[in-house]
Structure 1
């Protein structure tokens, strides 16, 4: 979508806002009705059709942020992902999925596709050649995630976009970890962009939502599936999400900066074995990430040395919260093995390189000195507990 060269923070703040024509308020008014007139109106509005005033306004903002022609807002990230996938797949079709994926997406593929007669393949890596090797005559979708959850692997957006077009396949990406502040896959030829808006778009750990952005042609097809699945979002939450997105650029840039500093600190720590962050020059995808991302994101993962018990480390943190989700303004950590990838078997986690000791770290906006101090005191306590009496 043409954003008229508006800056990212201007787009976040103003694009798609509703005008308060009655009282001239500075923010979009909230329309809570679930029932609208059907006679003598230009649009027959209904929440499940994604066209209430607040839904329409927010979708314009989301489309502008992802440089798309259209967007839809859903009740959760998985509602967006499942709807998007099923819009382009039917019995007899095949999909190629990236090896490193969010656990919920992986679980959807392995538990649901076969019920619908859809076959699938996971790549052995995340290079373009890995995807091409899995393409079959009946392949209809290529699905990627970059940076990936939780190991922050990087996939070539332009390469995948070209590959999909070469074979007449729809390309889809989960862009949650990057957010539209750091990465716009449509600019590189990707067809459909998905988000868990619960994360960076919401940003305050109090909203559950999902997003799909695409061309109008693709969105028309997605819409026909979406109205059947019924994954629409309440207008109050839509209004809250529009409010939250206004500060997304400021928040994400602060989180980018903290993550870069934290990755460098953890890499230098004798108590840390491995750090996974595309902003580090030692990351195998660093050069590619630098070429297609505007910022490296607020997410990283790391592994403590084997003598430091990760579960005890969680218990002794005072500022950083062990918590299930990510991307809030508060820093959080979790164990993918126990949470985001718990639905995967130990064998499948091992294939993806997800160790039981892996810690996923979502950087917030706190001062770096406070975060480092909290990590050091927690590690110190765990080590002191392990010392012989």
Structure 2
């Protein structure tokens, strides 16, 4: 199957599927074995080597979706992030990382890298020049996240990729918030694309997984470390993830549409102080997002006015769930200061613009009218309880 001749949903549905030769079933069979023959076989299969039949099929699908030569799947998004970074870094090396970054990645770098003698610098912003000024003679990797978690900042993919190539540096991106539906960084010159596949690829809040897509050369390098770190994924979860990706294009496009409607609604609401969504023309990265994204995504964040208690607001919601993760078909929201970025100090969160009243909103596939009604009743409930108190 030629990737370029087929559309997104066709790739989601068919690339990497396994043929059921025995019963001619319509879906990929699940191979649960953890022990395979080693004599007289073309491939010596072993789960920790990422080469069971279901693992190989899923990797082909993810590579096709990200326009990459190859891919690997992991037991979590952080397994993918840590393995990819450590595959290209050793003692004495330096990495430049975007200031606005997922809290788990920030914590990995600040808590672990010094133990391995790896130096790191965080940018002051997310412009291409911010990355260039942090590059040193020993810099080996530049790491970005766009749209970022949780403020949806937008970084210029092509510009950062060009800077990395000029300096002989490997460029990496966490592409989780965009998903392959909305953004394909390899098309802009980025070397390594990382996902928490728990999110939009899984899409139903019931799978924990990670993924890395890149050239065959880069994936081979990551594989040699990955097989030692042992962050592989069980074949049952692999099978579930392959099934979930089949509907990713449809799900994400519906979430894009809903998020745009919710962003506009929140932007005009008297109880909302600020809305961060690249689809809004008021967003500082809107024009850049238009150029490098096919859709603006299902994630946004907003700040309530001071007279609306954020904690009471979340507890008053009836349809939208207060939940730790994101990108499921159901709408969820959370406080980054209490969850995804809780490992950061208050000072670091403040530097990144993550205030205690900030709420990250993962928009699902429900009717937007129902989501709006839920937010309205929650705000009304908080106002009433405050007035009574």
Pairwise TM-score range, normalised by the shorter structure: over 0.9
Match of 1:102 in 2: 102
Q: Distance in 2 between matches of 1:384 and 1:283?
A: 32
Secondary structure, in 3 states, of the residue corresponding to 1:134? coil
Match of 1:161 in 2: 161
Secondary structure, in 3 states, of the residue corresponding to 1:96? strand
Q: Distance in 1 between matches of 2:50 and 2:356?
A: 41
Match of 1:80 in 2: 80
Match of 2:184 in 1: 184
Secondary structure, in 3 states, of the residue corresponding to 2:347? helix
Give how far 1:388 is off: 4.9
Aligned ranges for residues 11-30 of structure 1 at < 5 Å?
11-30=11-30
Contact 1:30-1:235 at 8 Å conserved across structures = yes
Give how far 1:387 is off: 1.1
Provide TM-score, normalisation by structure 2.
Answer: 0.99
Contact 1:37-1:44 at 8 Å conserved across structures = yes
Aligned ranges for residues 282-297 of structure 1 at < 5 Å?
282-297=282-297
Secondary structure, in 3 states, of the residue corresponding to 2:54? helix
Q: Distance in 2 between matches of 1:2 and 1:285?
A: 34
Q: Distance in 1 between matches of 2:363 and 2:129?
A: 33
Secondary structure, in 3 states, of the residue corresponding to 1:387? helix
Secondary structure, in 3 states, of the residue corresponding to 2:120? strand
Match of 2:335 in 1: 335
Aligned ranges for residues 194-233 of structure 1 at < 5 Å?
194-233=194-233
Q: Distance in 2 between matches of 1:75 and 1:294?
A: 28
Aligned ranges for residues 1-389 of structure 1 at < 5 Å?
3-388=3-388
Q: Distance in 2 between matches of 1:218 and 1:72?
A: 11
Contact 1:68-1:214 at 8 Å conserved across structures = yes
Contact 1:80-1:211 at 8 Å conserved across structures = yes
Provide TM-score, normalisation by structure 1.
Answer: 0.99
Q: Distance in 2 between matches of 1:131 and 1:316?
A: 42
Structure 1, unaligned stretches of length 5 or more?
none
Q: Distance in 1 between matches of 2:388 and 2:315?
A: 21
Aligned pairs, number: 389
Secondary structure, in 3 states, of the residue corresponding to 1:212? strand
Q: Distance in 2 between matches of 1:349 and 1:281?
A: 26
Q: Distance in 1 between matches of 2:172 and 2:110?
A: 18
Secondary structure, in 3 states, of the residue corresponding to 1:12? helix
Structure 1: which 4+ aligned runs deviate by more than 3 Å? Answer: none
Deviation track 1:64-89 (CA, whole Å, cap 9, x = no partner) reads 00000000000000000000000000
Cα RMSD of the aligned pairs, angstroms, is 0.8
